Amino acid sequence: MPSDTVKHALPAAMMATEHANTRREPRFQLRFSIEVCGFGPDSQPFRVRTITLDVSEWGCRFEMPFRMDANCVFTLQALSDDAGNPAKCAAVMFQVVRVVESKGRWEVAAWKIAEAKVWPVDLPAAPPESPDADAARMRQDGSER
């Protein structure tokens, strides 16, 4: 029985890795208020409100006050758009791809693991982000800390 579970879980894990390795979609420097919920490294549940640093159709970057483990799964829900208007978006499952310590906080890069609309705007209409040092560093740093 456990081997059946592994057979079904393996393709999803392989897809996650492949997507993370090949994704080259445009990122947009949009600041959405979000709520992140999951289980921390201490196995205790958490619910944290924070703001995105950048977003794409399949992922985002945001800061957390504590370190999240690589590959951990959590829910993310957009609470407001970049103008502060309330968002009517459902919570969506995400997976941590990369974690980097930055300025006393933890910068998390994650991608959604289900095809669902997560952002309160249509991204192709949003202006692409301008490169900045933190974003460039995050993209070039392939290590997980």
Residues 6 or more apart whose CB falls under 8 angstroms from that of 67 comprise 41, 99, 101, 106, 145
Rounded-to-integer distance, Cα 83 and Cα 141, Å: 31
Cβ neighbours, 10 Å, residue 9: 10
DSSP 8-class letter at 71? T
In tens, the pLDDT along 49-65 reads: 999 999 999 999 999 99
Rounded-to-integer distance, Cα 108 and Cα 102, Å: 10
Q: Which domains does the chain have, with CATH numbers?
A: 34-140 (2.40.10)
Which tokens is 69 given?
């483990």
pTM of the model: 0.71
In tens, the pLDDT along 121-142 reads: 988 755 555 544 444 444 455 4
